[in-house]
């Protein structure tokens, strides 16, 4: 989804490229103010971003799509988000949320998901990296414009929302329903996918920090995965691990090519 989001932003005339965002008009969030017309606005600062998201969700009427990367979210963040989410559901708004697989291991996130799904929310998880994306009522799109997520852009345009919604749907179709389950069952369901994602990123030469960000894992969890993979392959160093994983990937690709068709 990360590359697809970049393509989305590119299709919009690269307005979110470096040096371009300062030229966008600044959006001032106001309670009860409903985004209308077609426009692109910059939102600076976490408070303004959070206020804009909350006010936009409060004015939603039909559907809210939420892509929330990064694994577990803080208990305080979830507590602040819950009333707005429940309000949407009580008003008959359909909500669909995407998390990364590691969110399944976090108890506050599981509690949040249970509270919202009991009121009709739909939640799934995915092994792939994606950036934050919010689409409201097939009309409003909010995306971050920097890696720190301290700036965001809000598009109010049905064409942009349709593009972003189609992107969300492609990932949604591959995601797994988030249901509360014992730890062992969760590990059986998504553990292998998370480990395969870590392997792919090691082959790509990503650092532990980059792997954690893309897969949604904390540093210690990344190190635990790498330790298991090293033991599995008998690697004694990071460079040897990268070589062995690359070799394994090539052999698997060759095996697939040699598999006879139906």
Is 140 in a helix, a strand, or coil? strand
Task: Note the pLDDT of residue 199.
Answer: 86
Please give the Cα distance from 87 to 85 (Å, whole number): 5
Residue 140: beta bridge partners?
Answer: 136, 156
Helices (H), the chain: 2-11, 46-58, 75-90, 107-117, 158-172, 183-186, 192-203, 208-215, 219-233, 238-258
Compute the CA torsion angle 242, 175, 151, 217 (nearest 10 deg): -40
DSSP 191: I
Task: Note the pLDDT of residue 24.
Answer: 53
Residue where the block lists tokens 């109010």: 156
User: Nearest-CA neighbor of 143 among 73, 221, 68, 60?
Assistant: 68
For residue 14, name the pLDDT band (cuts at 50, 70, 90): very low
Please give the Cα distance from 144 to 67 (Å, whole number): 12
Q: Is the pTM of this model over 0.75?
A: no
All domains in the chain, ordered by first residue: 2-177 (3.30.870.10), 188-258 (1.10.10.10)
pLDDT digits (tens, 9 = 90+) for 172-202: 998 989 976 555 566 656 777 778 888 888 8
User: Nearest-CA neighbor of 238 among 208, 215, 259?
Assistant: 208
């Amino acid at each position: 989804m990360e590359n697809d989001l970049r393509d989305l932003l590119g299709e919009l005339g690269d307005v979110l490229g470096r040096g371009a965002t300062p030229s966008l008009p600044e959006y001032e969030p106001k309670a009860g103010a409903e985004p209308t017309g077609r426009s692109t606005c910059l939102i600076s600062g976490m408070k303004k971003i959070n206020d804009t998201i909350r006010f936009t969700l409060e004015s939603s009427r039909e559907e809210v799509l939420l892509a929330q990367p990064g694994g577990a979210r803080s208990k305080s963040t979830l507590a602040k988000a819950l009333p707005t989410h429940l309000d949407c559901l009580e008003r008959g708004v359909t909500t669909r949320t995407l998390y990364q697989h590691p969110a399944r291991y976090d108890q506050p996130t599981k509690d949040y998901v249970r509270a919202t799904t009991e009121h009709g929310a739909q939640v799934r998880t995915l092994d792939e990296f994606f950036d934050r994306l919010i689409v409201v009522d097939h009309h409003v799109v909010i995306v971050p414009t920097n890696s720190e997520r301290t700036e965001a852009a809000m598009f109010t345009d049905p064409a942009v929302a349709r593009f972003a919604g189609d992107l969300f749907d492609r990932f949604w179709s591959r995601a797994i329903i988030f249901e509360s389950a014992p730890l062992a069952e969760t590990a059986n369901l998504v553990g292998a996918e998370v480990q395969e994602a870590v392997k792919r990123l090691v082959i790509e030469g990503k650092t532990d920090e980059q792997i954690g960000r893309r897969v949604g894992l904390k540093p210690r969890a990344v190190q635990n995965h790498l330790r298991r993979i090293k033991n599995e392959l008998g690697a004694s160093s990071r460079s040897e691990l990268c070589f062995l994983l690359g070799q394994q990937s090539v052999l698997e690709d060759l095996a697939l090519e040699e598999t006879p068709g139906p």
